[in-house]
Chains A and B, each alone.
Chain A
Amino acid sequence: MNFDYTDDQKALKDEARRFLAAVSPLTVARAALDGADHEVMAALWNRIAEQGWCGAAIPEAYGGLGLGYVELCALAEELGRSLCPVPFASSIYGFAEALLVAGTEAQKLALLPRVAEGSLVGTLALSEGPGTLTADRIKARVVGDKLSGVKLPVTDGGAANQAVVLAQSETGPGLYLVDLTGAGVTREALSTIDPSRGGMRITFDTVTVEALGAPGEGLALLERIEQRAAVLIAFEQLGGADRCLEMARDYALERYAFGRPIGSYQAIKHKLADVFIANEVARANAYYGAWALSSDAAELPLAAAAARVAATNAYWLATKENIQTHGGIGFTWEADCHLFYRRARHLSLVLGGPSVWKRRLTSALEAQVLREDTEGERA
């Protein structure tokens, strides 16, 4: 029984926290809000890549370190805490996992070593308009090996050189690998609620693509990819939620009103106790997700959805109550509270919003009860 990080994983996590505090204090995430300096961001990405983090969970056979997913979860938690404005999530939890789930051996051998060293940045290009992602809402189309269509928002679409694109084919939606630097690709920056993870509108005009997995199975493959990414992003959300609670606690200790610290009022104490509980719920479910992901367990669909639902709830509560605890100053541009408020909603939408994941979780629970009923009858 070890439902926790190991000592080695804790050491890795501590080291990551120190490193990120040095290279990516909140001033770096804030700078991205005021207009990202591409050279600064590229330099930051290189610093991260030099740590070997991009390849933490990528098997050694594909150029990674093959440390494992719990190690990657530990890094995600720290990246989430720091709000480090790099395309790590898009490239590692999204693009690399897409290759691992759906790629041929040749595709993995060709691309994953470059992802692992950080020289190739990938992302996922999925949505096109409002509403949850369903087959009938995908208008981008591949004919032969040529893709045409428009995707927005594509998170980290500016930093990425490659994307996995969801597009219609003769047999239904499929996933396709696309070089974003090639001819026929037009990228336009979009303003989003979290500029520290910039979004793009990407237009594809008869762009040459390569199928990733069987065309027609795109949505089923995507769901498996998203389950893996959901666990990893849950750790980013958890890291952010914990930091919001610490910020609110620290402020409640130093801010005085009516002659005493505001943290001595039950209105504040009970609010922050609620945030603590939500964070513990998120942590417990995220750890379960990490276990399922790292052990390739059959429970992954359930565990991933639960991790995402709990982490999304926790981060939202923590970030809005962090602003509330700070009072008026928390609503200013200068205060750091809104950086987390923005990131919380970015992360809760980037893999599909709460209603999608709650539906997935309920389906997984229903399946588990059916399975238990059947086993009960057999026994």
Chain B
Amino acid sequence: MNFEDNPQEATYRATVRSWITANAPDFGALPVEERRLWHPAHKEMARQWQAKKSDAGYACISWPKERGGAGGTAIEEAIFSQEEQRAGVQHHYFATGLKMLLPALMEHNKDELSMALVPPAVRGDAIWCQLFSEPSSGSDSAGVRTQAIREGEYWRINGQKVWNSGAQMADYGMLVTRTDPSLPKHKGLTVFWIDMKAPGVEVRPIKMMSGDDEFNEVFFTDLVIPDSQRVGEINGGWAVIISTLMNERAAVGSITGINWRDILKLARETPGDAGSVLDDPAFCDWLADYYTEVEAIRLLSFRTLTSLSRGEAPGPESSAGKLLWANGTQAMTNMALDLQDRFGMIDDPEVAHRHGAFQHRFLWSPGLRLGGGTDEIMKNIIAERVLGLPGDVRVDKNVPFRDIPSGR
């Protein structure tokens, strides 16, 4: 049991740490109103940082050089990610493309046209978004209705996607369509990449309960694309989807945002029955349990790093992290309101503790339990893939898609 790098890893860490110190941009120097995710100035600073990393061989480190990577190892990539996070300059504008979508694209397509899309994404010059979920296809991720009909060497696409994070800023999207409704659900799907600025693509932001609007609906009206934009086989889209989801899980997660220190400090500053809330046994009991769960997320990432350092695939431990993080954040922000009593309802940035960060996160936290696999889906995954329990009875499994009953 040790957290020390081996000599080679330690040298690499020292090198990248000093490189980051010398080269990283100062996001704190932006005016306050620009210092937030998706603000054009903030995004531009992130893009320049990504390009600088790419030039120095620190973007997509484990990818081959001809794809814009650095031909390095998974452990080097993980070490760089840790150091980037430590320096507070890691943002997730490019993560959907670089962690999930492009690895799947490279796995399923080898043609020149597709491969030409990769290096610009590595440099941050192109942002990718995921176009998977639909109003009737959320957890039931193979229940896609967006239709693609073959017209010679082209495909005509009509339908709607939803919950598309960052689609308003994206240059490219990876789109799942139904190409044969006479086949069972998983078997009639085909994946394409599309230009988000093409005619027939309309992005409409969705305002979330937290007031944020980085999610979108995307509508396709007679979008026509060449067959050369197909990813994988016709009706073989499920394999591509599985690749993206596996890549998502293999990515070493980084948990940022409000943590146990912040609520401990809030409790320390909040008057209790005697002294501060930090002297309240009920709060201490809660904090102890919460700490062990969120600290486990950090510690489990060290187990993932251990696997990478040995050149092995990460174990099942990473599947617990998302559930712990989502539920922990909701519980923690809820507790932050409770411990301030009536004052906890104030989210006015001028008045509230930490400018209302706890309240904002509280209103955001239900989404954490839904996005990227709901709690229920994550538990099914653990039960079936880790514990080996049988899948649920699926009444729609061998039925042609068009004959599957649908509700409203």
Contacts and interface: CB of A to CB of B under 8 A. Distances in A.
Contact of B305 (A3, A264, A306): A3
Interface residues of B, number: 50
Given A3-B1, A249-B388, A281 B292 contact: yes
Given A249-B389, A273-B379, A287-B299, A365 B320 contact: no
A355 interface: yes
Contacts of B289: 309, 313, 358
Nearest to A293: B1
A280 B317 contact: yes
Contacts of B288: 305-306, 309, 357-359, 361-362
A16 B306 CA distance: 24
Interface stretch (B39-47, B162-170, B390-398): B390-398
A201 B306 CA distance: 47
A51 to B, nearest CB: 22
Interface string A265-296: 11011101110110011011101101100110
Interface string B379-408: 110111011111111000000000000000
Interface string B291-325: 11101100110110110010000000100100110
Contacts of B3: 1, 3, 291
Contacts of B324: 277, 281
Nearest to A291: B1
A238 interface: no
Nearest to B391: A264
B159 to A, nearest CB: 30
A218 B299 CA distance: 33
A13 to B, nearest CB: 13
A171 interface: no
Interface string B260-304: 110011001000000000100100110111011101100110110
B1 A287 contact: yes
Nearest to B304: A3
A228 B287 CA distance: 22
Main SS class of interface, A? helix
A263 interface: yes
Nearest to A294: B1
B33 interface: no
Contacts of B111: none
B296 A266 contact: no
Interface stretch (B4-12, B176-184, B222-230): B4-12
Contacts of B261: 369, 372
Contacts of A372: 261
B295 A285 contact: yes
B309 A1 contact: yes
A291 B300 CA distance: 14
A272 B376 contact: no
A288 B387 CA distance: 24
A366 interface: yes
A260 B393 CA distance: 9
A295 B2 CA distance: 9
A304 interface: no
B5 A1 contact: yes
A270 B379 contact: yes
B320 A280 contact: yes
Contacts of B306: 1-4
A149 to B, nearest CB: 29
A273 B387 contact: yes
B1 A2 contact: yes
Interface in A13-65: none
A70 interface: yes
B379 A306 contact: no
Interface string A237-275: 000000001000100110000001101111011101110
Contacts of A268: 389
Contacts of B295: 284-285, 288, 306
Interface in B239-269: 260-261, 264-265, 268
B394 to A, nearest CB: 11
A217 B363 CA distance: 49
Contacts of A313: 289, 292
A323 to B, nearest CB: 18
A310 interface: yes
A365 to B, nearest CB: 6
B383 A270 contact: yes
Given A361-B291, A362-B278, 18 more contacts: A1-B305, A2-B309, A3-B2, A264-B393, A266-B392, A269-B379, A269-B383, A273-B382, A273-B383, A274-B379, A280-B317, A284-B317, A290-B1, A294-B1, A306-B291, A306-B295, A354-B285, A355-B281
Closest 3 CB pairs of A and B: A269-B383, A358-B288, A284-B299
8 contacts: A3-B306, A5-B1, A272-B383, A277-B324, A280-B296, A284-B317, A285-B296, A362-B278
